[in-house]
Chain A
Amino acid sequence: MSIPLQSRLPRTYRIKHVKQETEMVRTFTFDGSLGAKPGQFAMVWLPGADEVPMSVACDDGATTRITFFAAGGMTNELAKLRVGDLAGLRGPFGTHYEWERGQHIVLVAGGYGAAPMYFVAKETAMHDCTLDVIVGARSNDHLLYVEELESLPHVSLHLATDDGSAGHKGFGTDILEKLLSSCHRPAAARPIDATSAPRISTRSDNGKCSPIDQIFGCGPEMMLKRISEMCAKYEVTAQLSMERYMKCGYGLCGNCVMDPLGIRICKEGPVVSNEVLLQLTEFGKYYRDDLGKKHSFDAIRKQR
């Protein structure tokens, strides 16, 4: 049997660089590569504390970057680490975003979903892709990777904040809806004799719009659910990054499974095609905790 390339034993790496992104968000650069592709994740281990899955924010073949939110528990402890300290990485695990040369892709990032989206943006530059990148957050102070994304010549950046302190006041998905409606027509609105026509639509009035080949999303599940619905409506392909409670990271324990298909988010995800997501009845409804108990997103929203 061949030895898998991925590491299923954590190995500790020294932190080479620490960047304070926002008050609660940090980026660690580790001295070592996992060979990760955009969208894949690593299990990040703090010896003696815990191990949690995190999207790889960049892997350039020599260093690996993770961007994380100190949201309590282990991540608060992790945030205390300094340059030269050790943290473990295990992976890379799961699926990654896939694209073809020259495609027009819209990336929608919510919260710290901006980190893996920057990794996508950086890699697609090498394949002559054109990107519209939508970054959303609560407010201007919480927007991530804005400067890095702005520096990429193939990227048109769109910002959205809940309070309107930067860019559009509202959700990133509002911007997506505008982009979709200006370049595509909803499936239901098409004339009957055009239903089998390709998903490309006419150019918009300003003539600048080119049809969208794919939409990539990473962020809160309710945002992804909205993207999924829009993409189904406009018949545009989407790849969305799911989040579930993970333990093994390589498809053994079954804790991150989404039903009814029994899809392992650590293995057949985290990047899942919208085609598959539309068959997962639990998508946007509930997730399971470390005991396998269901928690509905509705109940969580009401609590807030």
Chain B
Amino acid sequence: MNYLTFHSAIIWHVNLSQTVLGVRFENPTVLASGIMGVTAGSWKRAARCGAGAVTTKSIWLREHKGHPNPVIISTPHWTLNAVGVPDAGYEKAREEIGEFLKDKPVPLIVNIIAETVENYSKTAEVLLPLKPDFLEVNISCPNIEHEFGKPFACSASDAAAVTQAVKGVCKGTPVFIKLSPNADSIGRIAAACAAAGADGFTAINTAGPGMAIDLRSRMPILANRVGGLSGPAIKPISVRCIAEVYEATGGKLPIIGTGGVCTGEDAIELMLAGASLIGIGTAVGDRGMDVFQKVCDEMQAWCASEGVKDVKELVGGMHHAVARVESGKKS
């Protein structure tokens, strides 16, 4: 029986669980990196609020200062952030992760960042003994060894070099590369990372950068002047990027689709573009910590109304639909 009879209404039982690279997720929602990511208690709370998995903030090898405030500003349509990836280094992260693992409620994705290829692999190496379910690599940091400090995420060769270095130290842990929408061709970067051994992708990091100006003082509001754009406004960009990554890798590698998801229908749209799991970040501010449960309930309701029994069948659905239409035209 794939449906339950409740009073006179028929409620479809929709399977939201996913198994990705051997890891089981009770539902596809994932707390995105950088949101509520500082303490073990925050991750546990996200899990209590329905998150299928949690991601840590980006962890550096050593202590890393962020920018002065204001670092996060928003309207209902968009959020700009220039927090500057502050972090106390891997030792503090080990303490928090250790606390989370004591009674781990959901899978854990550990996000790392570095300014050199070598430090990416070193950071991965010191955190791997904690056995994260996935390692997510934030490659949006400027490469200090590059002549113009270009971010790793904007160069196929640099992104591939990071992937290869991290994969070199990760034995059984799947490595997800977090891609930037600011690359000339996100598909080309994804293909290069896939060739270098990436197990999956997170798409996308924030877009932009953007700027906001206070009218009276005529000053940029963010202390860093510019910041990454997130929130509902970037969803069309994330949908396009996920679709490109899916195509560039033949739909073979799992994608954590992130960017502008507020509702269950947003999540479904990202799945149709090719995402298996759905990162939620900015929406925590607008819909509350229980946004994960809300998104799951909305996905359930939509799937039930459309007769979808398992969310797996949605993954990459847009590509299948296009192929069907195209083949129909040919015949």
Contact = CB atoms under 8 A, between A and B. Distances in A.
Interface of A: 1, 3-4, 8-12, 43, 45, 47-52, 86, 88, 90, 247-255, 257-264, 288, 290-294
A253 B92 contact: no
Contacts of A8: 73-75, 285
B40 A259 contact: yes
Given A252-B285, A291-B63, A293-B88, A257 B39 contact: yes
B223 A251 contact: no
A84 to B, nearest CB: 12
Secondary structure type dominating chain B contacts: loop
6 contacts: A43-B70, A86-B217, A251-B289, A253-B71, A259-B41, A290-B65
B88 A48 contact: no
Contacts of B191: none
Contacts of A1: 76, 262, 286
B40 A88 contact: no
Interface residues of B, number: 49
Contacts of A48: 219
8 cross-chain pairs, A with B, having the tightest CB-CB distances, nearest first: A262-B45, A259-B41, A51-B69, A254-B36, A262-B41, A47-B219, A248-B72, A252-B285
Contacts of B208: none
Contacts of A251: 36, 284-285, 288-289
Contact of A292 (B38, B215, B281): B38
A166 B46 CA distance: 48
B212 interface: yes
Given A253-B34, A259-B41, A247 B214 contact: no
Contact of A257 (B36, B92, B212, B288): B36
B123 to A, nearest CB: 16
Contacts of A9: 73-75, 212, 221
B70 A10 contact: yes
A257 B87 CA distance: 15
Contacts of A10: 70, 73, 214, 221
Interface in B252-302: 262, 281-282, 284-286, 288-289
Nearest to B48: A262
